Structure 1
């Protein structure tokens, strides 16, 4: 049977090598708070638009990481390129059209599309008014093959009435707010931001023709369509509604679907070259992009982790050819979409030559959470790997010790942090992992997660602990096993 051995000789060997003055002065001292700050401010700048997966902002971040990897002498992970395309599809809104015989209506000013399915080819149909969409209206108004126009109390709960009109045969639905035209402006602004963002998936999207086509419209266009002011329109009885004009409209909402330009950035520093064994140091460099209330620049999540990987690459560079294992520096894309980049790297070993023995993952290490003042770090996953935990404590005792916190190792269900960052891609295939994390805060996934809120001196201390732990993990006697007869 195969049994993991927690080798005291391994720890003794590592301490003897790592505690030398040369180790501390030459390598650890190259990690600085000012350099970390510079990286975070660049990666979390507004010009990168929140680094959403597959966007130009994320590609700018990738180019910056590549530039630093090259400057620090890293080699491309497959000896050809630092970029690993992760095989995703993207789709984004391309064109919105609403036309009558009289004029073309203006997107976001006159109308806004609420659904996610494209309207392509375009729809040409009559538009009929159906009041508030009560069940009885369908006994008087035929909506089969037509565009239904309805008064609603809220645009946020549009799906119920849209589904009802779809069942009655309507090809699309226009909704106008019953009382507050400012609600249209709010809905328009929310969806304007959403329409500018890429959607990302692992497969080419398929959109059913049966999906509902729903629009919010400005009250001002009702008079153009039905030749009555909105206040008069909503007072009509069934017979009066039946006598309204039914203008013919043309609708189109087109999507651009293509293979996504979404890439992991991967470089490595060779070890002594006797084996292909490697330790992966990872952090995701993507974030969530823009929201209706601003750009989510993602300083802590995860410009901080990405800055740490860049700084660690610089610190380890002088050790090329000296460690027993190769060191892989992996900045992943698509973490916010479901750990997509990390899964791709872990599941495609044929794209590189490495035999991965451990993963050190860094996700949000720049802030102080509500339960601490300073001098702490959370670790995740090491409760599954006692030898990794031992290396962590040896490393911590070699430095000015930090408080090692295990709170996030105890979480379960959706809050199981072992499953919520890139280290899970390795853990699930039985590669030992350790995640470094500084805890959640109120600015998480909001535009308020900004570079000025990072504690860079504390971040430097954390990165030095990560460096030392990784140094120990790169020794030949760490993460070994033998067969007991």
Structure 2
């Protein structure tokens, strides 16, 4: 930290009254307490929100809750008409899985599981041919043209190479059964079913090539019914001649998709600064998470119900300063961060949708836990190695409170620890806007159903949010991030 900058900023803060700016008062922090933080976080990380996957009903519920809190605090809609900013995503979902053996329907996830993302928009009617373990010595003498190749394998998760080989020999689809462990099929089916409960979202309209490989897993019972032999007997077959004596049952395969615009929205409100000012500080946190896994709902308590809770409570703490600060403050809860910072990119790249001149960004992502290298009283900061003024501001803010240990471990420019590109602040940094990220570190529950509200350290989180408020208060002063065109 540059000592001269720190001295200058301290002087400015202590004499802010001369510039008609409000002086910092500790009473502004009264709205930030562990009880309120815990209340919001438990709501945002509840099972009823189903992991807040981008564009999902659970995320919509979270957006509604954030809007209600902004309204209660008197935070205005970002464009004076709505708090919701659609971020222009596309989504696709499966319409149906219709797989049949003659007139008998195969139950998806019980008898058969589709593994590919390739839609089957036109019904495939084709005969199945058994190919053993798919060894080259067997495959070279098999005619797979316009057929469905069925193999016995040792690993249901390692199918692509063999599936591609059958496709090159003319097969319309590839199916496989585990050679000995039918539980492997059940586990894979559960995993695929859970993943498909979540819609897939894209920044552009998705396109699926008709030539994509179509791969399936089958239960042992299904394979035995298809070929009228026990699995152990099928495994013992090792010649093309033996395969040719098996029945070649016909299957019907159909699984179309729907592509449509996603209802994925940033939630954006703002606190007006002094009359007619366009200069704006953005405080951001993503409120989306990763939805469901087959082992349970990823409620995302730390990631990032903690950051979302922080901006709700920061909005309430700043509310009494409406019209008094030198900058507007935008409170930005982004969608699509888990899909690639999509909501933050959209907001940063569409200035025509608002009237703010963005001077700086403070981003809050995972501030609720204690990592394995600390016991208490710390926070990681990200980006301030690029922006010395922000580094000075956070240290001045820290000196105005009970000091925390400000850590730089995730503030590297490259390699491990380079988190500048991994959260929403990067969308502003790449537009040359000064950024400062707050982060409490990684932990073993990251992106797992075990990231739950009971593991949050609420007293530690309270101190962190107070530091964020004080840093933001300083960043909202006229002297901070000022340019000639202000």
TM-score band (shorter)? over 0.9
Per the alignment, in what secondary structure is the counterpart of residue 385 of structure 2?
helix
Runs of 4+ aligned structure 1 residues displaced above 6 Å come to none
> Is the 1:15–1:394 Cα contact (8 Å) retained in structure 2?
no
Counterpart position of 1:320 = 322
Per the alignment, in what secondary structure is the counterpart of residue 167 of structure 2?
helix
For 2:349 and 2:201, the matched residues in 1 are separated by 19
TM-score, length basis structure 1: 0.95
> Is the 2:92–2:257 Cα contact (8 Å) retained in structure 1?
yes
Could you tell me which runs of 5 or more consecutive residues in structure 2 were left unpaired when the two chains were aligned.
none
Counterpart position of 2:11 = 12
Task: For residues 13-43 of structure 1, give each alpha carbon's deviation from its aligned partner in whole angstroms, at most 9, with x where no partner exists.
Answer: 323449x998434311111110000111000
Task: For residues 404-439 of structure 1, give each alpha carbon's deviation from its aligned partner in whole angstroms, at most 9, with x where no partner exists.
Answer: 111111252364101111111111111111001111
> Is the 2:22–2:324 Cα contact (8 Å) retained in structure 1?
no
For 2:74 and 2:331, the matched residues in 1 are separated by 12
Task: For residues 104-137 of structure 1, give each alpha carbon's deviation from its aligned partner in whole angstroms, at most 9, with x where no partner exists.
Answer: 1111110001111111112111111111111122
Counterpart position of 1:379 = 381
Q: After superposition, where does 1:243-254 map in structure 2 within 5 Å? A: 243-254=245-256
Q: Superposition RMSD on alpha carbons, in Å?
A: 1.8
Counterpart position of 1:430 = 432
For 2:458 and 2:272, the matched residues in 1 are separated by 29
1:315 and 1:373, CA in 2 relative to 1: closer, same or farther beyond 3 A?
Answer: same
Counterpart position of 1:104 = 105
**Post-superposition offset of 1:10:** 4.9
Per the alignment, in what secondary structure is the counterpart of residue 377 of structure 1?
strand
Could you tell me which runs of 5 or more consecutive residues in structure 1 were left unpaired when the two chains were aligned.
none
For 2:247 and 2:25, the matched residues in 1 are separated by 82
Q: After superposition, where does 1:155-194 map in structure 2 within 5 Å? A: 155-194=156-195
Task: For residues 441-474 of structure 1, give each alpha carbon's deviation from its aligned partner in whole angstroms, at most 9, with x where no partner exists.
Answer: 1111111111001111111111111101101100
Per the alignment, in what secondary structure is the counterpart of residue 133 of structure 2?
coil
For 1:17 and 1:482, the matched residues in 2 are separated by 20
> Is the 1:141–1:242 Cα contact (8 Å) retained in structure 2?
no
Counterpart position of 2:406 = 404
For 1:475 and 1:163, the matched residues in 2 are separated by 61
Per the alignment, in what secondary structure is the counterpart of residue 149 of structure 1?
strand
Q: After superposition, where does 1:49-68 map in structure 2 within 5 Å? A: 49-68=50-69
Q: After superposition, where does 1:345-384 map in structure 2 within 5 Å? A: 345-384=347-386
For 2:448 and 2:8, the matched residues in 1 are separated by 47
Q: After superposition, where does 1:431-470 map in structure 2 within 5 Å? A: 431-470=433-472
Q: After superposition, where does 1:84-483 map in structure 2 within 5 Å? A: 84-236=85-237, 237-410=239-412, 412-413=414-415, 415-481=417-483
For 2:40 and 2:6, the matched residues in 1 are separated by 38
